[in-house]
């Protein structure tokens, strides 16, 4: 290798290292060369669909989605001793969503660019062409249909006739590789790549937080995908922590009063940390279980695991401690023997307990361990019934302490009228109380 060629190769590789981030360009250590991943700039609202010649996957046959990014075109190259004075780089061109025929056309154009620039470094013209002109050169427009052969990975390690069909393979370049194993793998790769690149683009943009009214980088912000509202992580962290501390785990929504976009568990965990997220996760599970009529809790104080009741049965078995118990008396399951405390008996015992004196109450509680819990639940239910009304949206009981009759549900944040329980619009909830729409039950 001449000194001029060696210096030209080293300068070109150093330039690539300085221009592209490490996750996009990797320089080889053993030989002069490297691998670069090129993400194309797609037009807005770019629609793709997957077409597979396999007749076994109806979901893939119907797959269609709008994307901002596609998986990269990968240029893998090595620089021979005669480059750039006399010899072109050795390369392969691979992509998951371009067919071998399309990749062959790109390989041929890279050869043409080398001929035009023979004697000069050519990696930059190659990269510029692939990144900026591929879509026009291959006449790719939205909607774009991706064809995936049922035999998966297209590589010349197989028999060309077997892979591409007789009479077709000589027109394909052995440097062109459609490196995808199946249509289902391609779908997952496209969705993952699009999400990762969208996050990368989001991280470097500036956004105005509508809570603190300061501009922050996207990497310091969180956005709600349904509504696209963006808030800085510091403000959103404080907001979520207050809600979780107060037990309002169903209120982790976009802070915009007119928006109902729900934060994902991953967003909550990234913002509040492990300890507070554990409380959030526990309360969320607890609130869900409390709404399930077929769930009871293991009566062992050291366990308290939620247990699903068998339909029509009276026995429940804890999945953790394996304790089999009666769902009525919470004692060890007594088989065919009649339960001392069934549903009707509990009602009678509750009435007897409420009418008894202190000594009689203590005696009943001693004989029937579950009676205390039932009595407390009945008292609680009676209080709730007498002092609250159900939210017309989610049915959570709401207590009115003071203020006007426009209520806000602590469970789902829905506005409603305390008098007639009508759901009120988010944009103007007070319109309901003004003439001529004044609440008619006042």
Q: Which residues are marked as active site?
A: 404
CA–CA dist 12, 25 (Å, integer):
13
Residue 4 class from Cβ within 10 Å (0-12 exposed, 13-18 middle, 19+ buried)? Answer: exposed
65: CB partners within 8 A, 6+ apart = 47, 48, 49, 190, 191
Could you give the angle at which helices 100-116 and 123-137 cross, rounded to 10 degrees?
140
Neighbouring-strand partners of residue 148: 52
> Would you say 252 and 243 are in contact if contact means Cβ atoms under 8 Å apart?
yes
Task: Say whether 216 sits in a helix, a strand or coil.
Answer: strand
Task: Say whether 65 sits in a helix, a strand or coil.
Answer: strand
Give 302-347 as a 3 state SS string: CCCCEEECCCCCCEEECCCCCCEEECCCCCECCCCCCCCCCHHHHH
> Would you say 93 and 104 are in contact if contact means Cβ atoms under 8 Å apart?
no
Of 168, 163, 135, nearest in space to 149 by CA: 163
Of 218, 253, 214, nearest in space to 236 by CA: 253
- DSSP 8-state code for residue 93: E
CB atoms within 10 A of CB 168: 13
- Provide φ and ψ at 159, rounded to 5°: -65, 125
Of 2, 7, 180, 173, nearest in space to 91 by CA: 173
């Amino acid at each position: 290798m001449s000194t001029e060629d060696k210096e030209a190769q080293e300068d070109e590789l150093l330039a690539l290292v300085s221009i592209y981030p490490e996750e996009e360009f990797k320089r080889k250590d053993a030989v002069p060369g490297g691998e670069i991943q090129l993400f194309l700039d797609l037009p807005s609202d770019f629609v793709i669909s997957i077409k597979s010649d396999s007749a076994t996957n109806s979901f893939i046959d119907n797959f269609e989605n709008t994307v901002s990014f596609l998986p990269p075109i990968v240029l893998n190259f090595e620089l021979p001793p005669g480059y750039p004075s006399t010899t072109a780089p050795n390369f392969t061109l691979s992509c998951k969503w371009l067919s071998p025929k399309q990749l062959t056309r790109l390989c041929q154009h890279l050869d043409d660019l080398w001929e035009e620039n023979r004697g000069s470094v050519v990696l930059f013209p190659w990269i510029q062409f692939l990144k900026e002109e591929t879509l026009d050169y291959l006449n790719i427009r939205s909607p774009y249909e991706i064809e995936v052969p049922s035999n998966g990975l297209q590589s010349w390690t197989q028999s060309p006739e077997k892979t591409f069909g007789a009479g077709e393979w000589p027109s394909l370049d052995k440097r062109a590789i459609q490196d995808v194993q199946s249509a289902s793998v391609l779908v997952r790769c496209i969705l993952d790549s699009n999400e990762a690149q969208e996050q990368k683009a989001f991280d470097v943009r500036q956004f105005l937080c509508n809570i603190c009214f300061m501009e922050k980088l996207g990497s310091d912000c969180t956005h709600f995908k349904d509504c696209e509202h963006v808030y800085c992580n510091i403000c959103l962290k404080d907001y979520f922590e207050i809600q979780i501390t107060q037990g309002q785990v169903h209120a982790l929504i976009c802070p915009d009063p007119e928006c109902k976009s729900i934060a994902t568990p991953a967003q909550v965990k990234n913002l509040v940390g492990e300890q507070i997220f554990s409380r959030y996760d526990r309360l969320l599970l607890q609130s869900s279980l409390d709404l399930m009529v077929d769930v009871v809790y293991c009566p062992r104080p050291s366990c308290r695991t939620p247990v699903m009741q068998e339909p029509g049965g009276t026995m429940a078995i804890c999945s953790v401690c394996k304790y089999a118990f009666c769902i009525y008396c919470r004692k060890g399951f007594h088989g065919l023997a009649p339960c001392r405390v069934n549903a009707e008996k509990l009602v009678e015992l509750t009435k007897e307990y409420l009418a008894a004196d202190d000594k009689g109450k203590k005696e009943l509680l001693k004989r029937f361990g579950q009676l205390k819990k039932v009595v407390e639940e009945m008292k609680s239910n009676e209080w709730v019934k007498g002092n609250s009304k159900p939210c017309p949206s989610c049915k959570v009981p709401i207590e009115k302490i003071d203020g006007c009759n426009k209520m806000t549900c602590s469970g789902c944040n829905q506005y409603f009228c305390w008098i007639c329980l009508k759901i009120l619009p988010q944009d103007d909830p007070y319109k309901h109380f003004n003439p001529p729409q004044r609440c008619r039950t006042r």
